[in-house]
Every structure is written in structure tokens, then in C-alpha cells.
Chains A and B, each alone.
Chain A
Amino acid sequence: MEAMAHKNLKEPIIITTYQTQCLEDYINDGGYETLKNVLTKYKPNEIIEQIKASELLGRGGAAFPTGIKWDFTAQIKADHKFVVCNADEGEPGTFKDRWILEHKSYSLIEAMSLCAYSVGGDKGYIYIRGEYTESINSIRKALKEAYDNGFLGENILKSGFSFNIELRRGDGSYVCGEETALIESIEGKRAFPRFKPPFPGIKGLWGYPTVINNVETFANIVPIIKNGADWFKNYGTEHSSGTKLYSISGSVNKSGIIEANLGVTLKELLDAAQGMKNSKTFKCALIGGASGGFVYKDELDLPLSYETLKKAGKTLGSGAVLFLSEDDNEESLLKNILTFFKHESCGKCTPCREGYPKLIAMYEAFLENKIKAEDIMKLADVMFKTSLCALGQSVRMPLETYLSRKYKKL
């Protein structure tokens, strides 16, 4: 897989060196130094304060502040607390977690241990989708080496702190990536999302407080603690600090992962992807995967940060960017998205289970000019307001961003 740092980035945070597939290199590169330092010199709440100060936002799609999430769990007294890494990566068009799992496995483990130390966790799980064979192998190897060298297990580095991590393989279901569904899945059940609240941070795995973060979120932890929150905030924009791994795909010359400052423009990403394929013209991009929104030509200079996209009625989501040229058809892409959601709906709640088949029928009727765009949006709105999890809610975004553009008034 092609992965590179954007040229505007002085020094990448995540896509640094490629040689970290061997523990010796990782250690020579300063690996596990941060954990050693923290375990001997810092109190748990000092680490949480550092993460809070960095203003790191969760990279799994919902952009929740990571430090605040950790603090919730840290505040609770409980016999057990869990730390879970969400590596179910299923949002269409997203493949950055796969790169991290295959190239930064040691850093992920170190980050989870730091998280466990800060919140008082004693057990961790890395939940990887079953199709990611190489990621699974790479994490397995890194876990084994961590245990063999005293970086995991009982009394880590003779500090008195103990923490264990186990790997779990997921199984071909998009909804599994939803945090509470993932927890159900680790418990050995069908992946039905739970009603929230309570949030996992308060009541998660087997009812115990559970921190669950995305792979990319964890990949930022060691660099932040090593270099400090202020260093981290040099990257990105005022309200979106740090960098993002953008998954670039579609009708461009060079697909792959680009790490860039949050706030990089679509135009800059397109240039980094060496422009549109076969010298076609850019028509639009779907940003944030199937649950993301369309961004058009006049928005090429829009900074891709959490706050700017939100303000424009869109979302950065997982950071997937699918470029479409004049020859590509958004109308059929939208139908593809509806079909995807219909197929992945877990069926637990009515608005989503019954809504998607109906939406598809309505969309077809709409394409034959039998109904109006507003009619579709009414149903999408109801689904947005009443569905149990974001799988039933998120289709409003692609529908709205496309229909409002094409049919102006909604």
C-alpha cells in the first residue's frame, strides 16, 4: 500500500519510518521508552491531562475528545476496567487502519498500555476484522514479542503495573464497528448495538467501564506523550489538532494513504494524488465513506477539518476521500450506498430495518420523476431522529449533500 506524508507536513506523526516491523528496530527508535518513563515517573491523571490538553479527537468517525473519554472511565471505581482497540475498519473507502496495524503494531500496544495505566485498566482487546489477515499476523507477532520482553503481562518493567491484551477476530459485519456492537461481539454474542446511555466508558464489556478507541486514535498517543500536547497542537487547525490519515481513492492517478495536517484542502490532496486519472476533470468527492457527504468543485478550497466540514453540513468521518470525475456517476453511487446500508442493517430497530428498503424504492421512484426529493428526505429525517445507532442515521448525509446540490431547494 502506498502511504506518504503530505509535503506541507514538516514531520509526520504517524507515517514516520517503515521499519517498525521488528521489535529491535522499534526499541532502537525509542520505542517503549515512553511507557517506561510514564510507569516510573508519572501519575495516571498527569497522562490524562496531557491527552486532554492535546485536544486529540477520536479518529473513528465521531470525533469525540479522547482525553475526556479516558477521564470518564478513570473517575469510576470498579473491579475491572477494559481498554479496547477498534480495528474493525469497515467504512467503505477507508483503509488507513490497515496500514497502521501492519506498520505500527508496537506503537498501538504501547498506546493501549498507556491508556490502561491512566484509566486503571487491567485487560485489553484488539478487535480486528477477520478479512485483515496480514494485520492479524502483525498484531499477533507484536503481542507475543511484548509478552516475551516484559512489556505486557504481570508487573510490567517491574513497575507493579499489570496489563494483558488479547486479540479478537471479527467477522464480516459492518455494524460490528459500532462500539457497543463490538463489545457484544467480544462477549460472543450477535453484534447488535446497545442503547446508549450508558456509554461504554461507564458500562461496557460485561458491564465494566471500557475505553474504546479507534486504531488511528491510539496511534497518536505515544507521540503526544513523548513530545507533549503543545507540540501536537502545532499540527492541524485551532479546533482540530494533529494530522489525519486520509484514505485517497477513486479516479485519481495515485490512490493510497496521505498523512496531512487537519485542515488540508481537497485541492491539495488531489494534487498529492497526482491529479485526476486520464486528465479527466474533477466532479466531486465523497468524504467520510458511505456515511459521509459529497463535496463539489466550488468547495475544493474548503479545509478538511472536523469543524469546517461540520459547519458546511458535511463530515470528515473516517477521513475517506473518494474522488469522482466527470465520467463517474454519483446517482448510481448513491443507490449503491443505500443498498450497502440496507444489507448491513442489523435489524434490531424498526426505522433502520424497514427504512432502508423503503428508501431504495423511493429513490428509484424519484429517479423516474414520480416523487420529489423532499419526500425522500422526510423519511431520511425520521430515520435520523429515531434509529438506535448511526447506521440508521447516517444516510441522511450522502442523500442531503447530493440532492440539495442537484435539486437546489429541498
Chain B
Amino acid sequence: MDIENILKKYSKDKSYLLEIMHDVEKSKENKNLDLNDLKVISKYLDINLSAAYGTATFYSMFSLKPQAKYVIMVCSSTVCHIKKSYDILLFLKSLLNCDDDNLSKDGLFAVSEVGCLGLCDISPSMMINNQVYGDLDENKIKQIVGELRNGSNGA
């Protein structure tokens, strides 16, 4: 769906800003908002471009840069910390040959550390795009990454 069609779903109510940004981001090939999107959205809702920009950059889930196909969020909060999430993170980064920006060598994966995902009962946990994964260990991670690479996993 293009941005004009997304806007049609919403009335000109400023409280739809985050909702619209969510939808637009999801509709884009590289899952990111760009300045032009923000211009169109802010004009539609009659807010300043700078305010829309401020909101888009405040929330960590929005991205103004093109995103990798698979965005991996590894929880590093309390419970996962106790369950050795740091080892999971290191293993994942080395498995994917991540550079200093935590982007995999093939450009397919981006790895980030995030706060509690509310998956503490299956800690250590992570999310890839909208999919949740828990009780992680090295074997499980290898399997998940393998499936994503050969397309047999729908995340």
C-alpha cells in the first residue's frame, strides 16, 4: 500500500501520528521512513515537519535509515542477563560476521540489544521482525539463522 492509501485509513487526528508512521514504515521495501514520508504525513496531520521528525527519531523502533531484511532484537535486560544473553549476542554476531554497526556481512541481518521484551518466561529471548524466539542456545540460533537464510522461516 502506498502512503496516500495509508493516509486514507486515518482521519486528520494528530494522535494517529505514531500509527501512521508504523504503517508507512511497514509498507516500505527497506522498512524505514524517509524525509519525504515525514513531509507528507506532517502535512496531512497539519503538524510541523520538525515535530514529526522529533517523534520519529525519539522512538527506537522507527528508523530513518534503510533497515536490514531481518532485524534481530536480543533482549539484554535483567532476566536475560542472568540467563547469559551476552553470550547469545556475541555468538550471534560472530555467526553472522557482524561489522561495527552490527550489520551482517551479507547485509541481510542487523543485530541490536534491547530492553525486556516481556518474554522473560522463555528467557534468553529475542525477536526477529515480528517473530518471537525463546529458550535460546547456540544450536537453536544456528538453526533459526539457517532457516532464515534458506527462506524456510517466515519471520
Contact = CB atoms under 8 A, between A and B. Distances in A.
A173 B121 contact: no
Nearest to B113: A343
A91 B15 CA distance: 25
A397 interface: no
Given A190-B55, A290-B77, A95 B15 contact: no
Contacts of B40: none
Interface residues of A, number: 54
A208 interface: no
A50 B107 CA distance: 58
Interface residues of B, number: 37
A63 B41 CA distance: 39
A249 B61 contact: no
Contacts of A169: 18-19, 22
B154 interface: no
Which of B58, B78, B119, B123 lies at the interface centre, i.e. has the most chain A CB atoms within 10 A of its CB? B78
Given A188-B14, A290-B77, A249 B120 contact: yes
A186 interface: yes
A172 B115 CA distance: 8
Interface string A57-90: 0000000000000000000000000000000011
B35 interface: no
Interface string A314-330: 00000010101000100
Given A188-B14, A336-B76, A250 B82 contact: yes
B82 A333 contact: yes
A94 interface: yes
Given A186-B15, A322-B120, A337-B78, 13 more contacts: A95-B118, A171-B61, A173-B60, A188-B45, A189-B51, A189-B55, A190-B55, A248-B121, A249-B79, A250-B83, A255-B120, A333-B82, A340-B77
A3 to B, nearest CB: 9
A83 B17 CA distance: 19
Given A90-B115, A130-B61, A169-B19, A328 B55 contact: no
Contacts of A125: 15
13 contacts: A89-B118, A92-B77, A92-B79, A95-B121, A98-B118, A168-B18, A172-B60, A173-B59, A173-B60, A174-B115, A188-B55, A340-B77, A344-B115
A188 B77 contact: no
A185 interface: yes
B22 A130 contact: yes
A67 to B, nearest CB: 28
A286 interface: yes
A286 B61 CA distance: 28
Given A95-B121, A173-B58, A173-B59, A286 B15 contact: no
B115 A171 contact: no
Contact of A249 (B19, B114, B121): B121
Contacts of B123: 249, 255
Contacts of B62: 171
Interface string B53-67: 011001111100000
Contact of B78 (A130, A166, A289): A289
Nearest to A329: B82
B22 to A, nearest CB: 6
A262 B59 CA distance: 35
A303 interface: no
Contact of A322 (B17, B47, B73, B82): B82
